Chain A
């Protein structure tokens, strides 16, 4: 069975160049970058090169790059590391649609006595930066707002928000895990103080992340240990993975154009064809300010897990915001925050593409999806009811 992988917002294939670059560091080049001898020194040099590549990709200085174990660690470190630096301030601002790596840290802090304010989103998943103006108080310690949403791909106006945040002199963090590699990021021209990225979302392996920390930003280490990462993150450097994410960032920079042309064309093609061939389907999220690779689409009167498993049976790998797929009983918090009606929220499917996808694959999906939806609608008690009421009208 062929595999059509369109779940790249969940994780991506490790680029062959990335893997190749990493391999020597599992075998002959096993030195510790902190060692005084040549054997460690040669590895340190390569770690620094990787740091330069990441910095170059983000438009940052190498000294502003901290390697972590994953996107979640970067997010945790950004929040907790900032709170630790301003112990007297007890208010955080975030959004209702964050990834759990931010959302659940904020819930945890809420239980610990912090005041958490969550910005709402509209039906298209958009934020209103003006809402923020009223909310920033003297006791606000940090504003953390994701760059682009993992489920819908909606891109937030980070720099517009940043202007407001910086005018009040508050630290500003973003979870850019989904944005990195899909839209240009340039920290030299940014209002951001901190930014999180994750390796495995941009064709590096799982188990490596980056936290960008602008020079001069107050920060206490989250992972306490040795002097590594200039004292900002203890623990011996995960050398092979650092090499991997360095290479992945170099490739991501190179492929950014393709991501915004060819990949976007494929996504738009998939979207158009699905909307043409399946009735009662609707795109979730702002279609203008959206990542070029993401399509979140709802099919009314059917349930997402069923769609996914029938797709999976044909080798098509996507994901869903339905309740049943998450192990929770309610559909995705993102779709609920947007006010997507229940008729559609349970039947949402996310297709997320990468540069490795092809037009043939899109055609395969477009050919196979309509019968799947029809089959489930034939089983669903609500579809016939809907058709009846529709005819009456």
Chain B
């Protein structure tokens, strides 16, 4: 049995926004009966060009229906520019995650949305313009490349989970492998150079660096707001501090500690630092 989240079950058992909008502004359909799942999406815009109404009809398994339902909830009220930024991962996240083998359901949601927006803009993507890589499921290079990029896919198996490509006879596996290699090379070139590995600090270096960072980056900012901070102790990755001045009775002191002090220390000292407050 699939390990579906409660949210997936809820959207499957009580799908939101089922139907078809008769006079839709945009409509798109992806998938087919032969492939085992399909999604037809239609939307209507309000006077501010925001998605006023959106409906879906889906043929498919529980996660396909839940993904479609989630998609409609996510895009409702969005402008098309905002909606176009929704990724398949957003759909999966909304549902509290999907089994990895079912990620293609979230991809189908994203593709239907893209098709519907393109339909509205009169820029429909023609499948014929792209190379069909997987004949069993009719998946093109465009769809595979997009899935690799958006989901940081590394293996043929992952590509199959996300796009279904390669899930039938398996003859296209070499082509998918070649695509993965090509796209990943492109991604490496585009990506900013990775942060240099931090040198491991000795305890003395670490204490010194924490003191320096507090003095340079953190305390001046707190003082500007009438607050202050004392370093009490350091134990492994734990840094104990006491808040002074206005900070000590500020209702958002917890936020200050975690979001500001801890973030800065992680940035300048070590990624695993945890800041804890010592109360008098």
Give the interface of A toward B (CB within 8 A): 301-306, 309-310, 313, 322-325, 327-331, 342-343, 346, 378-382, 384
Q: With a CB–CB cut-off of 8 A, which chain A residues contact B39?
A: 381
Q: What separation, in Å, do the CA atoms of A323 and B59 have in the docked complex? A: 13
Q: Contacts A328-B167, A381-B38: A322 and B13 contacting too (C-beta < 8 A)?
A: no
How far, in Å, is B162 (CB) from chain A's closest CB? Answer: 12
B164 lies within 8 A of chain A by Cβ: yes
Q: Is the CB of B168 within 8 A of A324?
A: no
Known: A304-B61, A324-B62, A346-B36. 16 other contacts (CB 8 A): A303-B37, A303-B64, A306-B60, A306-B62, A309-B12, A309-B62, A310-B13, A322-B61, A324-B63, A324-B64, A327-B101, A329-B164, A330-B167, A330-B168, A381-B59, A384-B57
Q: Is the CB of A330 within 8 A of B136?
A: yes
Give the residue among B20, B33, B102 with the most A Cβ atoms within 10 A. Answer: B33
Interface of B (DSSP majority class): mixed
- Fill in one digit per residue for B23-60: 1 if any A CB lies within 8 Å of its CB, else 0: 00000010001101111100000000000000001111
Q: Is the CB of A379 within 8 A of B15?
A: yes
Q: Is the CB of B59 within 8 A of A380?
A: yes
Q: Is the CB of B15 within 8 A of A381?
A: no
Please name 7 pairs of A and B residues whose Cβ atoms are closer than 8 Å in the assembled complex, sorted by A.
Answer: A304-B61, A328-B167, A342-B34, A379-B59, A379-B65, A380-B59, A381-B59
Q: With a CB–CB cut-off of 8 A, which chain B residues contact A379?
A: 15, 18, 57-59, 65
- Fill in one digit per residue for B97-118: 1 if any A CB lies within 8 Å of its CB, else 0: 0000110100000000000000
CB closest chain-B residue, reference A380: B59
- Fill in one digit per residue for B120-147: 1 if any A CB lies within 8 Å of its CB, else 0: 0000000000000000110000000000
How far, in Å, is B62 (CB) from chain A's closest CB? Answer: 5
Q: With a CB–CB cut-off of 8 A, which chain A residues contact B12?
A: 306, 309
B160 lies within 8 A of chain A by Cβ: yes
Give the interface of B toward A (CB within 8 A): 2, 12-13, 15, 18, 20, 29, 33-34, 36-40, 57-65, 101-102, 104, 136-137, 160, 164, 167-168
CB closest chain-B residue, reference A329: B167
Q: Contacts A313-B13, A328-B167, A329-B160: A302 and B59 contacting too (C-beta < 8 A)?
A: yes
Interface of A (DSSP majority class): helix
> With contacts defined as CB atoms under 8 Å apart, how many contacts are there between chain A and chain B in the complex?
77
Q: What separation, in Å, do the CA atoms of A381 and B112 have in the docked complex? A: 13
How far, in Å, is A192 (CB) from chain B's closest CB? Answer: 34
Q: What separation, in Å, do the CA atoms of A263 and B38 have in the docked complex? A: 38
Give the residue among A301, A302, A306, A329 with the most B Cβ atoms within 10 A. Answer: A329
CB closest chain-B residue, reference A324: B61
Q: Is the CB of A305 within 8 A of B62?
A: yes
Q: What separation, in Å, do the CA atoms of A331 and B60 have in the docked complex? A: 12
How far, in Å, is A282 (CB) from chain B's closest CB? Answer: 15
Q: With a CB–CB cut-off of 8 A, which chain A residues contact B18?
A: 378-379
Give the residue among A303, A378, A380, A382 with the most B Cβ atoms within 10 A. Answer: A303
Q: Name the contact of B33 in the complex, choosing from A309, A330, A342 (C-beta under 8 A).
A: A342
How far, in Å, is A306 (CB) from chain B's closest CB? Answer: 6
Q: Is the CB of B62 within 8 A of A329?
A: no
Q: What separation, in Å, do the CA atoms of A110 and B218 have in the docked complex? A: 68
Q: With a CB–CB cut-off of 8 A, which chain B residues contact A309?
A: 12, 62
Q: What separation, in Å, do the CA atoms of A313 and B34 have in the docked complex? A: 27
Q: What separation, in Å, do the CA atoms of A378 and B18 have in the docked complex? A: 9
Q: Name the contact of A381 in the complex, choosing from B40, B101, B168 (C-beta under 8 A).
A: B40
Q: Contacts A322-B61, A327-B101, A329-B168: A343 and B33 contacting too (C-beta < 8 A)?
A: yes
Q: Is the CB of A329 within 8 A of B59?
A: no
Q: With a CB–CB cut-off of 8 A, which chain A residues contact B101?
A: 327
Q: Is the CB of B34 within 8 A of A303?
A: no
CB closest chain-B residue, reference A327: B101
Q: What separation, in Å, do the CA atoms of A379 and B66 have in the docked complex? A: 11
